[in-house]
Amino acid sequence: MKRSGGVKILVIVIVLAAIVLGYFYYLGHRDRKQSEEAVVATVVQSVLMRDLDHNYPPTPKEVVKYYSEITECFYNEEYSDEELTQLASKIQHLYDIELVANKTQDQYMLDLRNEIAEMKKNKYTIASYEVSASTDVEYFTQDGYSCARLYCTYYIRQPSSGTRVASLERFVLRQDSEDHWKILGWELVED
């Protein structure tokens, strides 16, 4: 009799210990899961989080890739007017000073808004893009500057026809005094 009473107490203690440990495990994982869910950011917010002063893209390919991510945000995503201004600032940070100097900030924003409005009016979106392979980047020197030339294909979705149209663009980048690759210009490559 005494023995069965001791076994019952031992079983009760083990069950209570399992319940307490299970409860603490649940609390620990529930808080972690809630904090992970709270950190979910929109595509625009995640693109804006990149700190270009401390984490500038290291190669011409990575610069064009980040430029393309921002461009996708312009045409594919919803954002506030403040976020549009921040996206414009991020993309201009990738531009060479000569390219930025071509327009006033007001004219740049006006042109950008008009271009975005036209794309959204026609319901065009960027379905995807492909940047040249690193081995296909052409490096050269011009006027004493290190430069790079590469290509990016944008696949534009046209909902009216249900097709995707490829648009090939040639980018020229130039290294600045801080060894950052900056976009000097780009042009549409005709077939």
- Provide the CATH topology of domain 43-188: Nuclear Transport Factor 2; Chain: A, (3.10.450)
CB 124, CB 156: distance < 8 Å: yes
pTM listed for this prediction: 0.77
**Tokens representing 51?**
């700190």
**Tokens representing 154?**
């944008």
* pLDDT at res. 168: 95
**Tokens representing 40?**
């979910």
* pLDDT at res. 160: 76
* pLDDT at res. 103: 94
Parse the chain into domains and list their residue ranges.
43-188
- Greater model confidence, 112 or 22: 112
* pLDDT at res. 146: 96
Radius of gyration, CA atoms only, the chain = 27
Q: What is the mean pLDDT of residues 35-56?
A: 83
Give the C-alpha separation, 7 to 12, whole Å: 9
What is the maximum alpha-carbon separation in the chain? 99
Give the C-alpha separation, 116 to 140, whole Å: 33
Residue 29 has pLDDT above 90, yes or no: no
* pLDDT at res. 36: 56
Directed axis angle between helix 105-121 and helix 60-76, to 10°? 60
Q: What is the mean pLDDT of residues 108-127?
A: 94
Residue 136 has pLDDT above 90, yes or no: yes
Q: In this structure, which amino acid lies at residue 64? A: V
CB 63, CB 57: distance < 8 Å: yes
